[in-house]
Structure 1
Amino acid sequence: MELRSLDWFLVFICFYFRFALTIAPSPCINWCDINPDNGFCRGCYRTLPEIADWSKLSNSNKLEVLEKLQARKPQVIQ
């Protein structure tokens, strides 16, 4: 059974929305070093499980992780 052009279009749209339209960007800044005192990456402030699971997380779960990162960052006194 051959796929019609509409079927290919629908496959493309599903792929596009699943992989290309990721709303939540990765917080990785390519400075990967886990702080042994708190378990957070010194670059992005995620935990190892959050880093490992990032590509599998839904956008809503990614946004939840991103919200936690602000509180994990050390506050700079000015």
Structure 2
Amino acid sequence: MVCTVDGASGLCLGCYRTLGEIAEWSRMGEQRRQQLMLELPSRIERIDPKLR
């Protein structure tokens, strides 16, 4: 899947990560990845409902 980033929120429409988080993902430690994964579901509210 290719990420599509919403300009207003700065989040990917598929995974809800920021471009910085996407770029850093392969270098992140396991603990940080797990923490981030727990945060992602709540980010959907930051995306315009028309784009979800």
Q: Sort the TM-score into its range (normalised by shorter chain).
A: 0.7 to 0.9
Higher relative CO (Cα under 8 Å, sequence separation at least 6) belongs to: 2
Question: Residues 21-75 of structure 1: CA distance to partner in whole angstroms, max 9, x if unpaired?
Answer: xxxxxxxxx141000010000010000010000000000000111011010124x
Instruction: Give the ranges of 4+ consecutive aligned residues of structure 1 lying more than 6 Å apart after TM superposition.
Output: none
The Cα RMSD (Å) is: 1.6
Structure 1, unaligned runs of 5 or more: 1-29
**Which among 37, 41, 47 is matched to residue 8 of structure 2?**
37
Contact 1:31–1:42, Cα closer than 8 Å, also in 2: no
User: TM-score if structure 2 supplies the norm length?
Assistant: 0.79
Q: TM-score, normalised by structure 1?
A: 0.54
Residue segments in structure 2 that go unaligned for 5+ positions in a row: 46-52
Higher helix share: 2
Bigger Rg over Cα: 1
Residue correspondence of structure 1 range 14-53 to structure 2 within 5 A: 30-53=1-24
Report the number of matched residues.
46
